[in-house]
A and B are shown apart, each in its own frame.
Chain A
Amino acid sequence: MSFYVASSPHHHLRRSTADLMRLVLIAMIPGILAQWYFFGWGVILQLALAIAVALASEALCLLARDRAPSSGLRDYTAVVTAALLAVSIPPLAPWWIIVIGTLFSIVVVKHLFGGVGQNIFNPAMAGYVLLLISFPVQMTSWLPPSSLTELPGLWDSILVFLFGFTGEGFSLEQIRRVESGTLLDAIVMATPLDHIKTELAQGFTLSEAKSAPIFSGAAGMGWQWVNAAYLLGGLFLIQQRVITWHIPGALLGSLGLFALIGALIAPDHLPNVDIHLLSGATMLAAFFIATDPVSAATSTRGKLVYAGLIGVLIYVIRTWGGYPDAVAFAVLLANLCVPVIDQYTRPTVYGHREERS
């Protein structure tokens, strides 16, 4: 009889790309729940539509590229991209926002560059930046957290999401204003980072800016808990060995370090470490976005450099840039640097110590 011939090794760690992606999605659940709790049903609607669009466009792209759609869909990479984009955009942004963003992420950023493993840029972040630049109003219309207002219910959320108006005929702008309680500070309900940026630009001090009701906690009501939830999910990923500590550690470390230096130099004009680490998309970026293996650096040293660079860029853009948050720009800029980082952080191969020293 003849025997099956195979190449060594004959044993494999039975953990596929799909398993890894599934774990990433599981790890996102606490963060998504926190977002749902503080900002309402919008995030769920965005997620559902984004995943549907991502799977459909992924399948079409695979067909167009003469690949079997089944294998491509089963690896969950498109779902992860869709989920990252969906949690990044304002919960009640109109439906076509997420559709355009997801299509761009999957079709242009991922498949036009060669599909899984070939994209230079993080697809979700490239999609986010496209949306932010093209539709700045919709992309900055965040809701106030639930503790400051009564959020629209599921049905009203769906109506706003699809048609822009609740059942009673309120627009998104009206929800953001009217429902924010007292009329005085409800002119526009900004995110904590946005709020600080605006206030500081107007000459207020940090403590004055932080006296707004949105800062009832450490780093902004709602947001700090969302960040904490993503931190929890991220720690789960490290525990499951889906990611290593290097990227989140270096990102949070460099961002925290710069925030600390800034706070020491100008304590009343630059946000402190806690605000930087627990506001905006910091934790999502550190554990879920920067860790995208495809667009990150590969060697351990390279990962440290890459994530450290993202941390610095986040700080620089948040502090001196035109946008309140900076994760997407920072990640894309660092993506651009990856080939250079990879080139100069190659580990010394066994037996070649002498040559390097």
Chain B
Amino acid sequence: MSSSASVNSNTVQLWSFPGGIHPPERKAPANETPIRRFPIAPELIVPLRQHIGALGELVVQVGDYVRKGQALTQPGIEHGLPVHAPTSGIIVEIGDFPLNHPSAMRGPGIRLRADGDDLWIDRHPLPNYQSSTRLQVLEHLHQYGIAGLGGAGFPTARKIASANGIDVLIINGVECEPYIAADDRLMREHADAIVRGTEALQWLTQAKRVVIAIEDNKPEAITAMQSAAQNATSSVIEVVVIPTKYPSGGERQLIQILTGKQVPAQGLPLDIGVLMHNTGTAFAVSRALEKGEPLIERVVTLTGEALATPCTAWVPLGTPVAYLLEQAGFTPERDQRVIMGGPMMGFTLPHLQVPVIKTTNCILAPTRTELPAAGPEMPCIRCGACADVCPASLLPQQLYWFAKSKDYDGLKTHHLPDCIECGACAYVCPSEIPLVQYYRQAKAEMREQAIEHQKAEIARQRFEARQARLEREKQERLERHRKAAEAREAALAAREQNTPAASEGDNDPVKAALARVKAKKAAAEGATTSSASSKDDQVAAAVARAKARKAAREAENQTSNTPAKPSAQNDAPRVEKPVSNKDQVAAAVARAKARKAARDAEKDKDS
């Protein structure tokens, strides 16, 4: 093994991010004992959705016997991330279960009765992944349900898929939130596997630089990781120690610390050539590749003074929180809070029948003396302590005023969407204003508003399309009417040629003029036709003209006994002799024929 990996973190330049706080860390006593393993819970609830992204397609049914690691869902048409049986047993129910969510929302899940044997399904590791294609390895990770264990649980394969040739791959072992010690213990005990997983991630992303970042309050983890990195085959892996400050482990903050760059607002780390994975994820990757084990268990911190034996533990996903707390000697007090996650960003559970999922890193059961409940909200004194600690350089007190007055424009211009809800502002607020709660609510309202706006936009587009269609139809109708009117007018004109106009002498010159214009136009059309270059066209046009002339003449002859004049229409007003209805009709027909012939000739020329 080569020992060329750079482990001297002191040579690496670090940057800082504005703000941040130093709450009591309280990683002990949970981080002092090795990761424990409890007996398997009698019943587990596996939510089908444990992460961001589409759901897999269910492939089991009630009554099925499943083995540990057997896929319960498969990537279906939407290529959702599958979930797997955390242990062997019988599926007793498929339905809606309370989810791992602050509002006790319910969602689809599978209830599995463990048989206690914990029998594995056949495992198919991919140890020599380097000889496979990148796509095959990604598919393997996807099939094995690997998701980000740090934050939102984004499917790892999908995250990597778009990240080929990045500059920096960051493995986040910062774990900056107080109490949480899951990654700390994992790094101490499984440093080699984490580094091997990191190497696989490096191979997949072809990252030029790989940084494993750890806060300096975890010296044992740092030592373990450094020696593991030293033994690594890859020489691009560096272990970087960063100063302890909350929230250094936030994705955007850690990127700033390590690279000095900021992820653009509404952008992704990929936009600046960075990809970040949690140490737990790196470990899960190595397990999936080396042992063929899907992601069915994770390290969970069980801590807080309401527990007799705070510790970290390997917990099969789907284990109910109530069972876990019981294992750790839980004695609830009055108004006990049970927090899923840490004290800064975790959420309280309304009841304990919720399962551990891929993103559950901590269950905190503090006593009231340990973490006193928030006092009454006092008026803001504009002290600006919140602005001093905001890692995103927001102005929390301004956002608070805007949120209170529901001024969504103000919230947008002050960049509320860039708030990472780390809770530093509310932590320092001397008036104990639950700032994050205000922001969350405002964000939800803004989302709602955006959805409403989108709906309104769609409705508007639909309305406008309908208006346009109605207008078009109206125009078409008008056009039809106009044509019909023209036809009628023509018919009228034809009739008037034969009608004595003495009684309406005033109007007649106008009509005569109109008629003359029409005649000229017709003649011009004929002329255009005759100017066509092709011989056939010329012949056809000539024939048409002749026909037209003949028809006109005939009509003239039929409708009047006076000798034909050079242009029938010219003389129309002067025709004094009454004509019969029949004659009028005949004349109209003749004229229509003439026009049609002229038009045909035109068409021939065009085509």
Residue pair B343, A11 in contact (C-beta under 8 Å): yes
CA distance A80 to B367 in the complex (A): 35
Residue pair B395, A16 in contact (C-beta under 8 Å): no
CB-CB under 8 A for A11 and B382, given A347-B393, A348-B393:
no
Residue pair A10, B348 in contact (C-beta under 8 Å): yes
Judged by a CB distance under 8 angstroms, whether A205 is at the interface is no
> What's the nearest-Cβ distance from chain B to residue A331, in Å?
15
| B395 touches which of A9, A12, A346, A354 (Cβ 8 Å) | A346
| B374 touches which of A6, A244, A294 (Cβ 8 Å) | A6
| B339 touches which of A10, A16, A75, A293 (Cβ 8 Å) | A10
CA distance A14 to B371 in the complex (A): 10
Chain A 335-357: CB-based contact to B (< 8 A → 1; otherwise 0): 00000001000111111111000
Contacts of A346 in B (CB 8 A): 395, 414
Residue pair A4, B336 in contact (C-beta under 8 Å): yes
Count residues on chain A whose CB falls below 8 Å from chain B CBs.
44
Judged by a CB distance under 8 angstroms, whether B59 is at the interface is no
Contacts of B382 in A (CB 8 A): 117, 293-294, 296, 298
CA distance A1 to B351 in the complex (A): 7
Q: Point out which of A300, A349, A353 has the most chain B C-beta atoms below 10 A from its C-beta.
A: A349
CA distance A77 to B395 in the complex (A): 23
| B387 touches which of A14, A17, A20, A298 (Cβ 8 Å) | A298
Residue pair B337, A351 in contact (C-beta under 8 Å): no
Residue pair B337, A9 in contact (C-beta under 8 Å): no
Contacts of A115 in B (CB 8 A): 379
| B379 touches which of A19, A20, A117, A298 (Cβ 8 Å) | A117
CB-CB under 8 A for A116 and B428, given A9-B423, A10-B339:
no
Residue pair B343, A10 in contact (C-beta under 8 Å): yes
Residue pair B381, A17 in contact (C-beta under 8 Å): yes
CA distance A19 to B382 in the complex (A): 16
Residue pair A12, B427 in contact (C-beta under 8 Å): yes
Judged by a CB distance under 8 angstroms, whether B77 is at the interface is no
Stretch of B90-98, B431-439, B526-534 on the interface side: B431-439
| B18 touches which of A10, A116, A347 (Cβ 8 Å) | A347
Q: Point out which of A20, A299, A351, A352 has the most chain B C-beta atoms below 10 A from its C-beta.
A: A351
| A7 touches which of B17, B267, B380, B436 (Cβ 8 Å) | B436
Contacts of B434 in A (CB 8 A): 7
Residue pair B394, A4 in contact (C-beta under 8 Å): no
Stretch of B190-198, B257-265, B286-294 on the interface side: B257-265
Chain B 85-124: CB-based contact to A (< 8 A → 1; otherwise 0): 0000000000000000010000000000000000000000
CA distance A118 to B426 in the complex (A): 20
CA distance A299 to B21 in the complex (A): 17
Judged by a CB distance under 8 angstroms, whether B366 is at the interface is yes
Closest residue to B413 on the A side, CB-wise?
A346
CA distance A323 to B436 in the complex (A): 47
Residue pair B381, A298 in contact (C-beta under 8 Å): no
Closest residue to B437 on the A side, CB-wise?
A7
Residue pair A71, B346 in contact (C-beta under 8 Å): no
Residue pair A8, B345 in contact (C-beta under 8 Å): yes
Residue pair A15, B430 in contact (C-beta under 8 Å): yes
Q: Point out which of A13, A116, A347 has the most chain B C-beta atoms below 10 A from its C-beta.
A: A13
Residue pair A16, B432 in contact (C-beta under 8 Å): yes
> What's the nearest-Cβ distance from chain A to residue B33, in Å?
23
Judged by a CB distance under 8 angstroms, whether A211 is at the interface is no
Closest residue to B337 on the A side, CB-wise?
A4
Closest residue to A295 on the B side, CB-wise?
B382
Residue pair A352, B381 in contact (C-beta under 8 Å): no
Contacts of A1 in B (CB 8 A): 332, 336, 351
Contacts of B387 in A (CB 8 A): 298-300, 347
Residue pair B384, A299 in contact (C-beta under 8 Å): yes
> What's the nearest-Cβ distance from chain B to residue A222, in Å?
33
Judged by a CB distance under 8 angstroms, whether A5 is at the interface is yes
Q: Point out which of A7, A296, A346, A347 has the most chain B C-beta atoms below 10 A from its C-beta.
A: A7
| B415 touches which of A3, A294, A349, A353 (Cβ 8 Å) | A349
| Interface members, chain B 70-94 (any A CB < 8 Å) | none
Residue pair A3, B418 in contact (C-beta under 8 Å): no
CB-CB under 8 A for A10 and B366, given A4-B348, A71-B376, A71-B378:
yes
| Interface members, chain A 71-86 (any B CB < 8 Å) | 71, 75, 77
Q: Point out which of A10, A12, A17, A75 has the most chain B C-beta atoms below 10 A from its C-beta.
A: A10
| Interface members, chain B 404-441 (any A CB < 8 Å) | 414-415, 418, 421, 423, 426-432, 434, 436-437, 440
Judged by a CB distance under 8 angstroms, whether B350 is at the interface is yes
29 contacts between A and B (CB under 8 A): A1-B351, A3-B332, A3-B337, A7-B440, A9-B343, A9-B427, A10-B346, A10-B348, A10-B371, A11-B24, A12-B426, A12-B429, A13-B428, A17-B381, A17-B431, A19-B430, A71-B378, A116-B379, A117-B381, A117-B431, A118-B379, A298-B382, A298-B387, A342-B398, A350-B262, A351-B262, A351-B267, A352-B265, A353-B262
A-binding residues in B (CB < 8 A): 17-18, 21, 23-24, 102, 178, 252, 256, 262-267, 332, 335-339, 341, 343-352, 364, 366, 371-376, 378-384, 387-388, 391-395, 397-398, 414-415, 418, 421, 423, 426-432, 434, 436-437, 440
Given contacts A12-B374, A13-B21, 16 further A-B contacts (CB under 8 A): A3-B337, A3-B350, A8-B421, A10-B346, A13-B428, A116-B378, A117-B380, A298-B395, A300-B388, A303-B384, A349-B393, A349-B414, A349-B415, A350-B17, A350-B393, A351-B418
